Amino acid sequence: MEDADGARTSDNQPVTAPVLADRVTQLQEELDSLTQLLYTSIGVLQRDAPPLELTSDVPTLPAEQLDSVSSMVEAVVTSCRRIDEYIERLPAHDEPIDEKLQAAELDNRASMEELASAADEAKAWLSQLRSGVERLSDLRVAQVNARASGA
């Protein structure tokens, strides 16, 4: 059984709206976490970096900083892997957006033609109504004139 959009997971299971929303929320939260992790890591690296002279020598970091840097790198890589997993669990769309757009345009054209037909029919009814009212008015005027001339 598929949901309204026919969305399915990568293992071809139907995706319900709450499940999809939960997956998107998980992805958003993990992206927020990665952003915060990168921001904090860069700040820590800037704060703890020793002042260096402008030379061509590549500086070596003390062991405690290397441990800190490697744990930050490990956290970033782990977060990126979780993001990849969340993306993989999002439903795949089999039907390209262009096809959906074309189908919507065809529906729109059909509705416009139906509306134009209804408008033409309404104009014809309005014309008949005006003509009927005009005939009734003419008859009433003729009756009033006949009574006035007969009196």
The whole-number mean pLDDT for each consecutive block of 10 residues of the chain, a chain of 151 residues, reads 45 58 88 95 86 73 82 94 90 71 89 95 94 93 89 63
pTM, 2 dp: 0.48
- Angstrom distance (rounded) from CA 115 to CA 122: 10
The DSSP 8-state label assigned to residue 8 in this structure reads B
Q: What is the pLDDT of residues 34-64, one digit of tens each?
A: 999 999 999 988 888 777 777 767 777 777 7
Please answer whether residues 81 and 33 qualify as being in contact, where contact means their C-beta atoms are separated by less than 8 angstroms: no
Question: pLDDT value at position 53?
Answer: 74
Largest CA distance in the chain: 126
| Beta-carbon contacts of residue 52 (< 8 Å; ≥ 6 apart) | 59
Question: pLDDT value at position 123?
Answer: 95
Please answer whether residues 50 and 59 qualify as being in contact, where contact means their C-beta atoms are separated by less than 8 angstroms: yes
Q: What is the pLDDT of residues 141-150, one digit of tens each?
A: 999 999 888 7
- Angstrom distance (rounded) from CA 85 to CA 92: 14
